[in-house]
Each structure stands twice: as structure tokens, then as C-alpha cells.
Amino acid sequence: MDDQALQRDEMQEIIDEFIVESSELMDNVIQDIVVIEQSHDEEVVNSIFRAVHTIKGTSSFLGFNTLSQLAHKGEDVLGQIRKGEMSTSQEVADILLESFDLMKLMIEDIREHGSEQQDASVVIGKLMGLLDPSQKPAPQPEEKKKIGEILIEENIITKSELDEVLKKQETEKDKKVGEIILEEKYITETQLNKILVKQKTPKMEEQSIRIDVKKLDDLMNLVGELVLGKNRLILVNSMARKGDDSENVFDNLADITNYIEVITNELQLSVMRARLVPVSKVFNKIPRMVRDLCSEFKKDIELKVEGEETELDRSLIEALHDPLIHIIRNSVDHGVELPADRTAKGKPPKGLLSIRAYNEGNHVIIEIYDDGKGINIQAVKDKVKEKGLMTEAELASLSQKEAMNLVFIPGLSTAQKLSSVSGRGVGMDVVKTNIEKMNGQAYIDSEEGKWTKLTIKLPLTLAIMRALIVKVREELFAIPLNTVTELVKLREGLIKTVDKNEVLVLRNTVIPIVDLRKAFLFKGEEDNSGYIVICNIGDKIIGIKVHSVIGQEEVVIKPLGEFLKDIKGISGATIRGDGKVILILDIPSVIINYANNKKLHLQAQPQMQAGAMN
Amino acid sequence: MNDGAILQLVTFKLGTEEFGVDILKVQEINKMMNITKIPNAPAFIEGVINLRGKIIPIVDLRKRLGFKEQPYDKSTRIIVVELEGLVLGFIVDSVSEVLRIPENTIEPPPSMVAGIESEYIEGVGKLDDRLLILLELKKVFSSPERKDIESIELN
């Protein structure tokens, strides 16, 4: 019995290893195919061949026969390419990519269910068709999970309701099933968006990472030293208990505290470093995606990717995936024009999409630039007005940049027509919220008709950040230090009132002030002492009025939990040295919250305003 | 006693009323500790506490059930419960004892008990000369206000 169990464990280990290795190989292979499609490179062809060969061998040894057969056929095709008997036309690349995608799915299945769940016969048929053109199979319709099916699985609509919707679609051909369902009020828009996301991403989360042995050794060393520190603490504790001469105890304690502080700092850094993963993990998927999107939209785009080696925390890399893909889709679909249009505008027919990652202090910046048609600011403004989100006067007071960043408002899409990849009007606001969830920032810059640049700024790591601890009345709050640019001590007359809003004029810049006391509806009298914390978010500057500033601290972010996750203005909490919980401010939402409160206030009491003027 | 299964309840007091919750749902009982207030939270949420490195929300049961507020004192306790994976605590005036009562002595709630809407009550247990109100914790801690707000936003 035990022997069998042991063997099973060993087998599982081998399979796990195979899954990790082969998914990595597949990722590389898919990238490489895109490379050889552009230009034939013998070295690259050979490396693809070797990778597929390895997968074929291991999978047949482990008994994953479907996978092995598929790999075998793929290897045959690659063999011909290697010998120069076949050229990598787009057709060949398409079929190879399709089969490698399928292999990836199978590996995913093996991870989850222990065996392949996909049927490879169609793709194998296509590969055979390449090897022997006379056996070319008839084209098969693409299988993709239909939105209706997903909805039924999720028990949101019933089968009969779906049938009705499908009947309706017959008459209104150009509408998507999702849109009709929405019109019929079977589901809400938020539900629909969730489903659409589900339809797009089949799920990808890595459960294990590879880590440098050197990094592990460093960690082990530090942990060893931590244990030594613990032993010393125990010793001091027993000294204190015995009533040892107190000065000696205190000296020792101070020494150990210092020692442990140094070690935990280093431990923290090492663990953080161990969690860092190069952004190439996400960037690698881009060439393939851009290639597919280009052929779908008949665009011609040159892709430039720089800074793949920039490192980011593992959890951030995963969370970055969706927003990044969305932005790129937007750029390809709405940004870069069709080759003919480009020529007409006097631009080179081939568009440029450039993606760049680099470090800036404790942050990673990712820029997505395209030389497409840019943002039509007037169109954005019109749309905002049409939707009644802002008044004419408010719009007029915006700077060019502020107006451009209106694209991040929920429910705003300036695209005239919808397409399968973007333009559902759920795009940019989701991107922004996702990035802000990671304590990052997103802003956009553009010149109409020429280019658009979207910048994402992310912290290196999620769990720990530097924060400024401030006091408002009796409560302490933490403000993420990455947003803080400076502190201003308040004096009489420094704060001015413009149009009922408090502002601070600092070096000729007018900075609006958010009074936390009001934003959080604390009771109590107004006073004008304390500090203003100047925060910079995107290109917005605001001042936050606080009573006193305690200092900088490194805080460990803890979520508030399911029950309190949607509290406006608060992004989480942290525990201070004395065990007290303090809240971490979510600066972007503090601003929104404050603006909303003010609006309500103004609408409710117009006569009060007149009174206050006197 | 006949076929009745035995229920074990932790009993506690709010004012003069005696309440009970299923002991299996109770994780621990703590003395009053430092509570951090949360701005913009639903009114009945008193704040959060640090429970050995985990942050959990605290509900003031007096506020939640519409009792008059009263300053906390030495006998004030926080009962920490786990509901469907969610850990949270609620403040009560005092904790009395652990009781074992047969399930069949519990009756469905009358329409009004101690001024609490009966939807929060799972049943009423009769013990000699006392009445024990069994709270339906799930209902007590789901927030109807929040659902209201969500449905407004969707329309």
C-alpha cells in the first residue's frame, strides 16, 4: 500500500514538473513562431523544433497520448520547415499557432483534471493538410464558448429565455446576444461585463514560480540570524525575570532590538526580491496578440517592446495582464488607422505600437504608445455632456490634459461602432480601477491625429508600502507616500476660498483642498491649524488638510475584508507597532467622495450659500 | 426528554433581555478592545479591531437591534463569530453562560420581541421562568442598506 502511494506521489511530482516545464516551453514557442513568420531564422526554428520534440517525448512517456500525437504532427511540420521544404507563410503560422494554443490548453487540463479534455483531431487534420496538401480538410467553424451558454451555466437566464433572445437576433443581425439580453433586462450591465470578461479569459494563474537558488540561500541565512536573535531575546527575558541589574538588561534589549530590526528589514527585502518577476511574463504574449489583432482588423503595425527585464511583484504581474491587453486592443482597434487612411494623412502606412517598461525609484512605469489618430478631445467632452456627467462650465474649466483623462469615466466610449474586441464602453474605467486597486496610477496623453500615450505607474510591491501617518482629530490615517509630494504648514490666511471651495496657492499653483474632517463627515469645529499634505495623482494635485503629521512608516497592507470592501475613501488598513489598527486612505476616491458631497451640499442649500457670502 | 437534540448556546445580555447564539458559530469571546472607527461605513458597524494580526469588523449589537446606546463598561464583551467564512465580532453588554437546551423547547418567534423585528430571530427558548432569544446571525449581519444602495446604482 505504502509503496503504491509513494509511487503515485513520485509520478505526480514528475507530472507537475512536466506541466511547469512544458507551459514555459509553449510560451516561448508561441513567441518564436511570430518571430519566424517575420523572418526565417534557422536558430529560432531549431529551438522551436527542440521544444516541441521534448514535449512529444515526455508526454508520450507519461501517457498523455492526445497531446503527444498533436506534438508529433507539429514536429513533422516543423521538420519540413527546418529542411527548407516549407516556408512559414501566414497560413502555416496560423495553423502552428492554433495547434500550440491547443497544446497549452491540454497542459492546463492536465494540471486541473489530470488528463487532456480537448479533441485534437481537427487541428491534427489541419497539420496533416500542411504536410500533404491533397489531404486538406474542409474548413471547420470556430468553436468558442457562446455567451448564452455561459449565462445559462451561471444560472442567470434560462434556456427558454435564451432561445427567445436568439430568435430576436435573427431579425436584428448586427446586434450581439449580450446587447439583446441587456435590452430585455434579463441581466444588469455589471453582470454582463463580468460575463464578457469570463468569455475572454479562460483563466490563467500560475501556482508556482521558479526561484534562484542563490535567493533562497540568502533567505535561509537571514532566517538563521533571526533565530539567533530570538535566542538572545529569550535570554534577556529570563534575565529580566530573575531581577538582574536593570541597566544590563536594557542595554542588551536595545542591542537585540537593533539587531532584529536590521535582519527583518533585510528579510523583507529578500522576500520581496524573491517575489519579483520580469514583466516579460506579460510582454511575451503581446507580439502574438498584436499579430492576431492586426489580421483581424486589417491593420499593419510594427511592434516595439522594450524593458522586458524590468521586474515587478508576482501578484502585480498577474493583475497587470488584463488591463494591458485591453489597452493594446484599444490601440490596435481604435488607435492606429487602416494603412490606406494613414497614407492619406501623410503617415507611413505601417503604424507603430511601442511598449516600454522601466524603473523609476520605487515604481515601475509602463508606457503604451501608438502613432494613431489620438484622442478627439471635443468628442470626449461632447460625450460627457451628452451623458450629463458634467456641466458646460465644468468642462470649460478643464485643461487639455484633464479633458483627455475624462476617458477614464465609467460608461464612456467615443468609438462610433462596436467591435468584438473593444468599444463596449466598459474599457478604460475598468483599466483605471484595476490599476488603482494595485495602488498604481494611470493617465493618458495624446495629440489629436498624431499619437496617444498611456502611462501606468505601479509600485514595486503590493503588500508593503511607505506611508505618511497623519492625525485627523483623534484618528490616525496612513497616506501612501508615493502620492505625497510635500507638506505645507498652515498659517492664518494661507487658505483662500474660491467659489465656496477652499484652495491653497502654492508657488503660483492653485491647489484645491480636501478637508478629511468633512470628507468623512466627522463632527466638530473647524480650525485652521495643522498641515496640508500635497498629493499628486496623475496630473491632479490636491491638498489634504490634517491636524498633525506623525511621520513616515513602512506599513503592511491588510484588506478590510468582504464586509467592508467598498468603503469609499479607504483602501485598506494596517496595524501599527502598538497593535492599533489604522486606516489607509485611498486618495483618488477621497477626491471623488469629496466632490460628490459638495455637489449634494450645493444642490440642497442654495440659499445657505447666499447667506454665507455676506 | 424525548427525541430532541441538544443545542449548546452561548448566552449574553443586552439590557435586560437574554440572547443566545449557537456555540459552534462562536470562535472566541474577548474583552472590549480598542476599536478603530471607519468613516463612511454602514451606521451599525462600530469599526475594526486587530485580532492577532487579522483585521475584523465589529458590529454594535445594541445599535443594530435598535436598543438605546450605552457606554461600554467592565462587563462589555466582543463575541467573535464565523459566518460562512466571514469572521466578525459583535459587542454585547455581558456574556452569561453556556447553556444546553433541548431543541424541541424552542418555539418560532412571536411577531414582536423586545422591540426587535422578528426577522432577526430564529426562535425563542423557554427555560423555567426565563425567555431566551435565539438570534439569526446571518440576517443580523447582512446589510439591507447596502443592497438598497446597490439596486439604486444599477437602475
Sign of the torsion formed by the C-alpha atoms of A487, A493, A497 and A498: negative
8 Å CB contact between A570 and A587: no
Instruction: Using CA atoms of A328, A331, A333, A334 in order, give the dihedral in degrees to the nearest 10.
Output: 150
Preferred mutation among A518, A564, A590 to probe B, highest tally of B CBs within 10 A: A564
- The beta-carbon neighbor of B34 closest among A559, A569, A580 is A580
Q: Which long-range contacts (CB under 8 A, 24 or more apart) does A66-69 make?
A: A66/A106, A66/A116, A66/A118, A66/A119, A66/A120, A67/A103, A67/A106, A67/A107, A67/A110, A67/A116, A67/A120, A69/A120, A69/A124
Give residue A53's pLDDT band: very low, low, confident or very high (50, 70, 90).
Answer: confident
Most confident range, picked from A47-56, A597-606, B109-118? A47-56
Q: Is the pLDDT of residue A341 over 80?
A: yes
Please list every residue in chain B whose beta carbon sits closer than 8 Å to the beta carbon of residue A190: 154
Q: Is the pLDDT of residue A176 over 70?
A: no
- Which is higher by pLDDT, A140 or A592? A592
Preferred mutation among B36, B87, B138 to probe A, highest tally of A CBs within 10 A: B36
Smallest CA–CA distance, residue B37 to chain A, in Å, is 8
A559 touches chain B (CB under 8 A): yes
pLDDT digits (tens, 9 = 90+) for A465-476: 788 999 887 788
Q: Distance (Å, rounded) from C-alpha A429 to C-alpha A593?
A: 17
Give the pLDDT mean for A223-239: 89
Q: Cell 502598538 belongs to which residue?
A: A578
pLDDT digits (tens, 9 = 90+) for B51-62: 887 888 888 888
Q: Distance (Å, rounded) from C-alpha B101 to C-alpha B126?
A: 9
Q: Distance (Å, rounded) from C-alpha A593 to C-alpha B40?
A: 10
pLDDT at A412: 64
Does the domain formed by A464-611 have CATH 2.40.50.180? yes
B56 touches chain A (CB under 8 A): yes
Q: Is the pLDDT of residue A253 over 60?
A: yes
Instruction: Using CA atoms of A92, A94, A98, A103 in order, give the dihedral in degrees to the nearest 10.
Output: 50
What are the residues whose beta carbons fall under 8 Å from the beta carbon of A82, sequence distance 6 or more? A42, A45, A46, A49
pLDDT at A187: 57
Smallest CA–CA distance, residue A558 to chain B, in Å, is 7
pLDDT at A195: 54
Q: Distance (Å, rounded) from C-alpha A412 to C-alpha A393?
A: 19
Give residue A152's pLDDT band: very low, low, confident or very high (50, 70, 90).
Answer: low
What are the residues whose beta carbons fall under 8 Å from the beta carbon of A275, sequence distance 6 or more? A209, A313, A314, A315, A461
pLDDT at B29: 92
Please list every residue in chain B whose beta carbon sits closer than 8 Å to the beta carbon of residue A566: 146
Helices (H) and strands (E) counted in chain A, each on its own, are: 22, 18
B70 touches chain A (CB under 8 A): no
8 Å CB contact between A55 and A67: yes
8 Å CB contact between A286 and A355: yes
Please list every residue in chain B whose beta carbon sits closer than 8 Å to the beta carbon of residue A579: 34, 50
A580 with B50: Cβ contact below 8 A: yes
Give the pLDDT mean for A116-129: 80
Average pLDDT taken over every residue of chain A: 76
A156-175: b (≥16 Cβ within 10 Å) or e: bbeeebbebbeeebeeeeee
A243 touches chain B (CB under 8 A): no
State whether residue A81 is helix, strand or coil.
helix
Q: Which amino acid is at A530?
A: G
Closest CA to B88 of B33, B141, B52: B141
Give the pLDDT mean for A149-170: 63
Preferred mutation among B31, B34, B35, B40 to probe A, highest tally of A CBs within 10 A: B40
ipTM of the complex: 0.73
Smallest CA–CA distance, residue A438 to chain B, in Å, is 20
Chain A to chain B, count of Cβ pairs less than 8 Å apart? Answer: 68
Element housing A453 (H / E): strand A451-459
Assign residue A155 a region (left: φ > 0; alpha: ψ between -120 and 50; beta: otherwise): left
Closest CA to A366 of A451, A443, A430: A443
Q: Is the pLDDT of residue A433 over 70?
A: yes
Closest CA to A590 of A537, A539, A531, A523: A537
Q: Which three cell numbers stand for residue A424?
A: 463596449
A579 with B34: Cβ contact below 8 A: yes
pLDDT at A513: 83
Please list every residue in chain B whose beta carbon sits closer than 8 Å to the beta carbon of residue A188: 154
Give the pLDDT mean for A22-48: 81
Give the pLDDT mean for A236-257: 82
Q: Which amino acid is at A532?
A: I
Smallest CA–CA distance, residue A393 to chain B, in Å, is 26
B154 with A190: Cβ contact below 8 A: yes
C-alpha pair distances (Å), A319 with each of A205, A290, A312, A436: 10, 20, 11, 11
Name the CATH superfamily housing domain A3-135. Answer: HPT domain (1.20.120.160)
Give me the helices (H) in B84-143, please.
137-141
- The beta-carbon neighbor of B40 closest among A190, A520, A579 is A520
Sign of the torsion formed by the C-alpha atoms of A123, A422, A284 and A449: positive
Q: Is the pLDDT of residue A241 over 60?
A: yes
8 Å CB contact between A565 and A559: yes
- The beta-carbon neighbor of B36 closest among A519, A566, A580 is A580
Instruction: Using CA atoms of B147, B153, B154, B155 in order, give the dihedral in degrees to the nearest 10.
Output: 110
Residues 493-552 of A with CB under 8 A from B: 519-522
- For A285-459, CATH number? 3.30.565.10
8 Å CB contact between A313 and A278: no
For the purposes of burial, counting CB atoms within 10 Å of the CB of A507, is it exposed (0-12), middle (13-18) or buried (19 or more)? Answer: exposed
Q: Which three cell numbers stand for residue A596?
A: 460628490
A581 with B45: Cβ contact below 8 A: no
Q: Which amino acid is at B101?
A: I
A561 with B36: Cβ contact below 8 A: no
Instruction: Using CA atoms of A462, A466, A471, A477 in order, give the dihedral in degrees to the nearest 10.
Output: 0
Element housing B80 (H / E): strand B77-83
Assign residue A425 a region (left: φ > 0; alpha: ψ between -120 and 50; beta: otherwise): left
Q: Distance (Å, rounded) from C-alpha A94 to C-alpha A74?
A: 12
Q: Distance (Å, rounded) from C-alpha A424 to C-alpha A427?
A: 7
B83 touches chain A (CB under 8 A): no
A592-606: b (≥16 Cβ within 10 Å) or e: ebbeeeeeeeeeeee
Q: Which long-range contacts (CB under 8 A, 24 or more apart) does A580-583 make?
A: A580/A476, A580/B34, A580/B36, A580/B50, A581/B34, A581/B36, A581/B48, A581/B49, A581/B50, A581/B55, A582/A469, A582/A475, A582/A476, A582/A477, A582/A478, A582/B36, A583/A475, A583/A477, A583/A478, A583/B36, A583/B38, A583/B39
A475 touches chain B (CB under 8 A): yes
8 Å CB contact between A70 and A106: yes
Query: Does the predicted TM-score (pTM) go above 0.80?
Result: no
Which segment of A50-59, A321-330, A487-496, B103-112 scores lowest on mean pLDDT?
Answer: B103-112
pLDDT digits (tens, 9 = 90+) for A498-543: 777 778 887 878 888 887 776 666 666 666 678 888 888 766 788 8
8 Å CB contact between A252 and A239: yes
- The beta-carbon neighbor of B37 closest among A190, A475, A566 is A475
Closest CA to A353 of A301, A422, A411, A427: A301
B34 touches chain A (CB under 8 A): yes
